[in-house]
Amino acid sequence: MLMSVRHIIWEGKGLLLLDQRRLPEEEAYVRCDDARQVAEAIKAMVVRGAPALGIVAALGVALEAARLGGEDLSLLEEKVASACELLRSTRPTARNLFWALERMEGVLKGWRGEGRDLPRALEEEALRIWSEDVEANRTMGCLGAELLPQGSRVLTHCNAGALATGGYGTALGLIRRAHEEGRVAEVFASETRPLLQGARLTAWELSREGIPVSVITDNAAGHLMQRGQIGAVVVGADRITARGDTANKIGTYPLAVLAREHGIPFYVVAPSSTFDLSIARGDEITIEERDQEEVLNLYGRRIAPHGVRALNPAFDVTPAELITAIVTEKGIIWPPLEKGIRELLGVVALITDFGWRDGYVGAMKGVILGINPRCHVVDVAHEVPPHDVMAGALVLRGVHRYFPQGTVFLVVVDPGVGGRRRPLVLETGDHVFVGPDNGVFTFILKRGDVRAFHLMKRRFFLEEISSTFHGRDIFAPAAAHLTLGVRPEEMGPAIPPEELALLSVPEPVREGETVFGEVIYVDRFGNLVTNLRPEDLRAPFVNEVGGEKLLEIKASYEEGKRGEVIALWGSSGLLELAMREEPLRERRGWGPGQKVLVHLGKEGKGR
């Protein structure tokens, strides 16, 4: 069940947060009416706990959008982006906060509708993040409860309960479910200096639910372990690296050391949104340093001599080697944690021109799953027109930013298979890409933050290599090994990115008050995607294509009349030409290379 007290209350144009600084003596709320007030509440620890911070930050973005309204889309986009930056600066260690803001930014970047509808879309995404967190916590509770034998006496640190999440809890969610099953006899809550989240919040939550709980001082755990009074340690996490090193509330690391010394299992419970696969090791995690006055004072009273300084790191890092298992909503990860994390969270996204009639896609997926059976294989697109490298590049351009960090994109549109073109592995800050050096990665390379490697090491290939099916024999096994933690640089020598093949992508050309663009892609609905971007068309304008003039940009396909050619901003962020419920390509015969003229400053409504 969820906690009976609502700690996050969303009112559409206001956000109420249960002030966790005042618990357990008083249940009071802080009201936030804009993103700035949400940021202040996060920094002041009105709300805390990595999953809860992500939810509240997302709601802060939605709150800012609702406050501004959506009449001026450009202004709204600017203010929402600023709100994301402000909220990101509040708590540097909590990965879930960054993850949630990245999702909100994804909505913003992909938005092509009317400005007035954007606030609602941001609100829906924030509420979705909230509901997903609760569901993930319930799943983790069910999976993790089985780790505790009947009658367990469990130690937990800080507060990883309903107050720290969307309303159920990570570590306390596991304990709550285990107690329902008769597995927990007693919980020890370490007080968690300097802000006493264990004594104040964890004890408050558990006692309200009738779960036996005893508060202990932070330095009493070793004594209880030595006397055999603790059977397991269960904690949450604020950020987990690719190898499993885990940042959590200061004082977690010594508990892991003590648990290892006494042969006691040490479990971490965290949703997949807590993992940061861009960080390899714990020493790369930014540790928040809080005000020393939190240590020097207690409830407003000085407890240390004047003139004395204090250190106040908010988190420490527990090395992967001290962790018995990590419980996630996707399953339990056992040592070696790095391998388990890659297996459980690994995603391979497939883009090919193979179609579905033959078994080519199935063969590639079989190879991947044969190497990593726990990998998630996503079919992005397999109907790319045969040999159309530009179409494959555009599909990749349009989808990659929506995939989770660490996704491996396997792109095989390869008319030169078996020839002299090189097999590649590319790495950016967010994703890894595997495929041929034929221009299919043009838009990725244009980002400028790419490391490139020549895929040469045969131990990452199948034993027998066909000259006509490198997708199965070279690229698929390489992608699978990448999901298991193999680094791109292990697969072959580095290549300067500027040496890689790029497609000739026509750029819009402006001559006076006319911008010359062209169609570069036709989707399966017969809509024509041009190379024109919003920044190319900042003034009112009129489109002209094939002798037809389009006086305005439509907000949706349904605004067009049947048989009418319309222009609208497509989901790719580029100007599209379409015909309502009809394939424009067939009706007009236009395709890639078709010229599109934009006359700026005319009496059009385009913007």
Is residue 534 classed as helix, strand or coil in its secondary structure? helix
Contact predicate 577/519, CB 8 Å = yes
DSSP collapsed to 3 states, 364-411: HHHHHHHHCCCCEEEEEECCCCCCCHHHHHHHHHHHHHHCCCCCEEEE
Question: Could you tell me the two tokens for 74?
Answer: 């450009």
Using left for φ > 0, alpha for ψ between -120 and 50, and beta otherwise, residue 583 falls in beta
Distances (CA, A) of 142 to 169, 202, 266, 553: 12, 20, 18, 51
Spatial CA neighbour of 411 closest among 342, 481, 331, 475: 475
Residue 33 annotated among the catalytic residues of the structure = no
Spatial CA neighbour of 201 closest among 18, 416, 325: 18
Q: Of the residues 19, 34, 238, 523, which is catalytic?
A: 238
Phi, psi of 260, rounded to the nearest 5 degrees: -65, -45
List beta partners, residue 435. 424
- Cα 233 to Cα 252: distance, rounded to the nearest angstrom: 10
Spatial CA neighbour of 236 closest among 222, 218, 255, 217: 255
Q: CA torsion, points 312, 8, 163, 337, in degrees to nearest 10?
A: -80
Question: Residue 48 burial (CB < 10 Å; 0-12/13-18/19+)?
Answer: buried
- Cα 122 to Cα 329: distance, rounded to the nearest angstrom: 25
- Cα of first residue to Cα of last residue in the chain, in angstroms, is 50
Widest CA span in the chain: 88
Contact predicate 524/383, CB 8 Å = yes
Contact predicate 424/434, CB 8 Å = yes
User: Which residues are the active-site residues?
Assistant: 238
